[in-house]
Structure 1
Amino acid sequence: MVIKWEKEKEELQALISDEQNGYSVQLTNAEAEKEKLISSANVEEIIYQKYLKDLSEWNDKRISIIGDNDTGDSIKYYKNELDYINTKLESEYRALTEERYSITKRLFNGITELSKIFQSIYTPIQGEIAKLLGDLEDGVMFQAEVFLKDRILSQQILNYINQRFNGKYGRSHNSLQEIEARIIETDFSNEDSVISFARDMEDVITSDIESAENRVPKRQDFYDFIFGLTYIGVNFKLKMGNRSLEELSPGERGIVLLIFYLALSKENKPIIIDQPEDNLDNQSVYSKLVPCICKAKQKRQVIIVTHNPNIAVACDAEQIVFCEKHNDSNKIRYVSGSIENPVIRNHVVDVLEGTMPAFDLRRLKYN
Structure 2
Amino acid sequence: MNNFIIKRVQIEGGFLDGLELTLSEGLNAIIGARGTGKSSFIELIRYCLNVQGHTSESNTKALSHAKAVLKDGQVTVTLSDGKEDYFFTRNSESDFQMNLPKNMKAPMIFSQTEVETIGLLSSGRLKLIDNFIENIDEYSKKELTLIAKINTISEQLSLLTDKANDFETKIHPLKDLTKKLSQLEIEEKKISEISEISSNKSNELKELGEKYSKQNLKIKYLENFINNENIWLNDLKTNIQRIPTVPTWSNEKDENPVNDLIVKRNEFSKDITSLLNKYEMQYSDTLKIINEYKQELEIISKKGQELRSEVDKLQEGAGEITRNCQNVRNEITNLEYIGVLLNETNLNILELQKERNSLINNLEDVRSERSNLRLKICDYLSNELAPKIKVSIKISHQLDEYKQVLTNSFKGSGIQYNDIVNIIAEEILPRELVNIIEGNNINELVEYTGISKDRAIRIISALKTHTGDIITVLLEDEILFKLSDGQKWKNLKELSTGQRCTLILPIILEHKDTILVIDQPEDHIDNAFIVDTLISSILKRKNEGQVIVTTHNANIPVLGKAEIVAQLASNGNRGFINVEGRLNKHNVVNAISNIMEGGEEAFKNRADFYGI
Q: If the TM-score is normalised by the length of the shorter chain, which range does it land in?
A: 0.3 to 0.5
TM-score (norm 1): 0.46
The structure whose RCO (Cα within 8 Å, separation 6+) is larger is 2
TM-score (norm 2): 0.31
